[in-house]
Amino acid sequence: MKKVEAFIKSIRLSQVMLALHHVEGLTGATATQAAGFGRGHAADGFSAHDVSDLNPIVRIEVFCSDTVERVPPRSQPSS
């Protein structure tokens, strides 16, 4: 059993879930709304910004059997 976890922009949720529906052997996925920050936090480990400055993201979790092959990457969508 493998666990795959990804953090994506909220605007990409529909596109990613549609792509997951086409993966053979995948039985389901969980999407959870979250907020976080990445680069740009202070050297002491605390954010230099207010908590309200967190970016909205979606956390996707997928559990699949070991037999599910790697899905080839798609070309970058034009934004």
Sorted by where each starts, the structural domains of the chain and their CATH numbers stand as 2-64 (3.30.70.120)
From the list 40, 24, 37, 29, the residue with the least C-alpha distance to 5 is 29
pLDDT at residue 58 tops 70 = yes
Q: How confident is the model at residue 24, as a pLDDT?
A: 80
Q: Average pLDDT, whole number, for the chain?
A: 77
Query: Does residue 71 or residue 34 have the better pLDDT?
Result: 34
Tokens of 27: 């039985």
pLDDT tens digits for 8-23?
999 999 999 998 888 8
C-alpha dist (Å) from residue 32 to 29, 55, 60: 10, 14, 6
> Tokens 């053979």 identify what position?
24
37 with 25: CB under 8 angstroms? no
pTM above 0.95, yes or no: no
Tokens of 33: 């709304």
